[in-house]
Amino acid sequence: MTVSSDDDLAGLKQIGRIVAIALEAMGKAIEPGMTTRDLDRIGRKVLEAAGARPAPEMVYGFPGATCISINEEVAHGIPGERRIGPGDLVNIDVSAEKDGYFADTGASFAVPPVPRAVERLCTDGRRALWTGLRQVGAGKPLAGIGQAVGAFARKNGYTLVRNLASHGVGLSLHEEPTEIATWPDASERRIMADGLVFTVEPFLSLGAEFAEDGDGPWTLYSEPRAPTVQYEHTVVATRNGPLILTLPAR
């Protein structure tokens, strides 16, 4: 999607704020003993109260309002009876639709006590996201995002999951431009148009390089198994840099 009117921008800001508020509420609610289904209900309540529809459920028939992945689960974890415990690393991905506009956001949360390396991974996961976001702007190369995130990962001793990419969003959950690498990709030649809407979502890890299928149709697992975090914003590329849509205070 390319923003072409004030109405487009207002609609995107509205759904961006809604998913950000849902993610924030879920993150604050995490506590040992609760199930991932309990956590998912909190997100669903926030979305539905705002008149939004959970996008994975709506678009793909995903069995939950949000994706909640724990430890070895790197993405697309199904909310269920798994209980969150001390030391767990919980990733929450929230995407939704309202009035025809979509936004997508995510974050990882460490449940104390966790090793210092995992605390640092979470901090650096946010830093990796912002490293990528600083490369966003009209007329800039999409490849700059992956190059910057890759340099950050190498400098700080991390790996990047290289088969889970950022993507266009706005009028649908996944759209052009597809497969925006958050790792160095020498084949990437595309340029960000003014008003282009997409996600930035690096997966930073203590060793994993890929996400692989499990026994079911949804959940993906780190390969090799290693603590992995994902932080994600939906942005608009502008002449002044990134306009971040998925901030709760916007």
- The pLDDT tens digits of the residues spanning 134-162 come to 999 999 999 999 999 999 999 999 999 99
CA 23 – CA 47 distance, rounded (Å) = 10
pLDDT for residue 194? 98
pLDDT for residue 249? 78
pLDDT for residue 181? 98
Question: According to DSSP H, which parts of 143-200 are helical?
Answer: 143-156
Mean pLDDT of 166-177: 98
> Considering Cα of 136, then 140, then 142, then 148, what sign does the dihedral take?
negative
- The pTM for the full model equals 0.97
Distances (CA, A) of 216 to 32, 75, 88, 146, 208: 25, 13, 22, 30, 20
pLDDT for residue 154? 98
How do residues 87-103 score in pLDDT, each as one tens digit?
999 999 999 999 999 99
pLDDT for residue 80? 98
Residue 215 pLDDT class (50, 70, 90 cuts): confident
Using a pLDDT cut of 90, give the percent of the chain over it: 98
Degrees, nearest 5: CA angle 153-155-161:
15
User: What's the order of all strands across the beta sheet hosting 203-205?
Assistant: 159-160, 203-205, 228-230
Residue 3 pLDDT class (50, 70, 90 cuts): very high
pLDDT for residue 143? 98
